[in-house]
């Protein structure tokens, strides 16, 4: 197995992250075999030279390195260990999971992979659709150092890889902590803007002042300018996924006995947002959820 230019790449899950990531790998010259339950999702890749497999098992049977990018822990486990999964008759020797599953599922999949002599890289990503398309994702990789060094050129096609630990699950923990912070920042920024708007402030002026002040955060720098002020609510990350990530983070915190007073309140706001707007809605709709409660701003669906 080699992670060099001749490595045969398999990719399962061609959604909002997996689609652009797999296109970058294909454009870098790697022979590629892809699979997604939605045949339409693989069409552009096939037209660009990839081979479409009929199952995850077929991907693993024809690849040296298999990437997975799936929305839920259940989907990841099914693709890895299910009856048509990657471990049926694999030729691959490296499994790289870009999904956010939480440490428990990551370790179960690792155990199953090791039975087939497949090395595992726990490598969730951050940066959204824009980062996946531009090749600027933060990649939080946990695996043996030797393996990380070997696959770094491959991962660098996708963004900036960080080696966060040698134990599977540490990449997941890093991603959950990051998304807890990101979800909290967006939730509290939504409340702060509702307070300001209700008090008569212009949101555009608020944004300029906050971004020049100590309240500046990723929500004010990126999410509000790109998807909230223009009322598009189309940043590119699902409400249900953010709620899922925070739930997973709090589950791990509970196991370790870490108090989560603030995080528990944040989880509740994300639950309300998912209930109001649906799991598939863009997560910037949390702003509209807070607006509804506070009657802070006009909203065309209220």
Residues classed as catalytic: 175
CA distances from 213 to 87, 208, 210, 217 (A): 52, 9, 5, 10
**Where is 210: in which H helix or E strand?**
helix 203-210
Rounded Cα distance, 94 and 100, in Å = 18
Provide long-range contacts, Cβ within 8 A and 24+ apart, for 210-219: 217/185, 217/189, 218/182, 218/185, 218/186, 219/182, 219/185, 219/186, 219/189, 219/190
Q: Cα-flanking dihedrals φ and ψ of residue 41, to 5°? A: -65, -25
Q: How many helices (H) and strands (E) does the chain have?
A: 13, 9
By DSSP bridging, strand 125-126 and strand 137-142 are antiparallel
């Amino acid at each position: 197995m080699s992670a060099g230019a001749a490595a045969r790449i398999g990719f399962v899950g061609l959604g909002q992250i997996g689609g652009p990531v797999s296109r970058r790998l294909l454009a870098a010259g790697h022979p590629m075999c892809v699979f997604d339950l939605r045949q339409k999702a693989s069409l552009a890749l096939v037209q660009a030279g990839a081979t479409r497999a009929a199952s995850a098992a077929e991907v693993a049977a024809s690849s040296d390195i298999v990437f997975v990018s799936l929305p839920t822990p259940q989907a990841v486990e099914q693709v890895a260990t299910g009856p048509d999964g990657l471990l049926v008759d694999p030729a691959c020797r490296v499994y790289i999971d870009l999904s956010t599953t939480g440490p428990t599922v990551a370790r179960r999949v690792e155990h199953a992979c090791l039975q087939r002599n497949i090395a595992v890289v726990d490598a969730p990503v951050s940066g959204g659709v824009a980062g996946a398309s531009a090749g600027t994702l933060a990649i939080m990789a946990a695996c043996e150092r030797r393996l990380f060094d070997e696959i770094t050129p491959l991962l660098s096609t996708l963004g900036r890889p960080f080696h966060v630990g040698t134990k599977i699950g540490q990449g997941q923990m890093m991603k959950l902590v990051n998304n807890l912070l990101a979800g909290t920042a967006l939730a509290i920024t939504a409340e702060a803007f509702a307070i300001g708007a209700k008090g008569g402030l212009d949101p555009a002026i608020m944004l300029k002042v906050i971004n020049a002040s100590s309240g500046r955060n990723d929500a004010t720098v990126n999410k509000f300018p790109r998807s909230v002020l223009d009322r598009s609510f189309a940043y590119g990350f699902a409400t249900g996924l953010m709620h899922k990530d925070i739930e997973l983070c709090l589950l791990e915190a509970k196991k370790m006995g870490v108090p989560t007073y603030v995080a528990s309140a944040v989880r509740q706001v994300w639950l309300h947002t998912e209930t109001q707007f649906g799991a598939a809605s863009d997560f910037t709709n949390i702003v509209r959820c807070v607006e509804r409660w506070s009657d802070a701003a006009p909203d065309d669906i209220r």
